[in-house]
Amino acid sequence: MKVSVVQFPGTNCEYDTKYAFEKLGASIEIVWHQKSEIDAKSDLVVIAGGFSYGDYLRSGAIARFSPVMDAVAKHAARGGKVLGICNGFQVLTESRLLPGALKRNEGLHFISKHHHLKVASNSNDFMRKLSINDVVNIPIAHHDGNYYIDEESKKSLYDNEQVLLHYCDENGNISNPNGSVDAIAGVCNAQKNVFGLMPHPERAMESILGSQDGIKMLEGFFA
C-alpha cells in the first residue's frame, strides 16, 4: 500500500503519520504543498495535522488554495481515498471535500489530551475494523475543533451513515470537549472515500504512549 502525506508550511504531524503507516507496512511519500500532482499509484492521501500557514485567517483557509489541493480533489474524484486529520480535516472542509465547518472551541481554549470516541458507522473503509458503539481512546489537540453543520445537512449525514465518530467518555456516554454539533468527531463524504476527524489516530499506535487504539482505525485502509 502506498500513502502520500501532504505537507504544508506549519504541518507538524507528517512524520507521526509516516511512522504510523510504516508501522502497518505501507510505503510513504511526503508531498510538498507546491506540487501539482499526486502519484497515481497512491492508495491513500493523508492531510496531516498541524497549523498550515499558521492558521492565519481561519484554520485551513489558506491551505485550500495550495496547488496540491487540486491534485487531492482529482484523486478523490477518481475514487482515491483521502484522510484529513485535525488540521487536515479543517483543510478538507474549507476545500468543500467534506461537509460542515470547524470553528473555535466552545471554551475558546486549546485542548490537548486523550479523549474517548464512540464508533457511529463502520460501513466505510476507515472504520470497518471496528464495531458500531466500540469505544476507543485517541489523543486530541486542537483550538478550532468545534464541528458545525446545519440541521438539514446533518440529517443527510446520518441518513447516509457519514457520521463516523462521537466524542464520549470511557463508558460510551456523550462527553463533548469542544461544542461540536451532536459531539461529532469525524465524518466522511457521501461516496465514503474522503474522511476527516479532529482526533489523532496516528498518535495512538503505542500502548506505552497511552493507547494503541489508532491501529485498528488506520488498518481499515489496508485491503
Active site residues: 86, 200, 202
- DSSP letters for the chain: -EEEEEE-TTB--HHHHHHHHHHTT-EEEEEETT-----TT-SEEEE--B-GGGG-SSTTTTGGGSHHHHHHHHHHHTT-EEEEETHHHHHHHHTTSSSSEEE--TTSS-EEEEEEEEE---SSTTTTTS-TT-EEEEEEEESS-EEE--HHHHHHHHHTT-EEEEEE-TTS-B--SS--GGGEEEEE-TTS-EEEESS-GGG-SBGGGTB-THHHHHHTT--
**What is each CA distance from 124 to 105, 130, 196, 208, in whole angstroms?**
28, 10, 13, 29
Q: Count CA within 13 A, CB hemisphere, residue 42.
A: 25
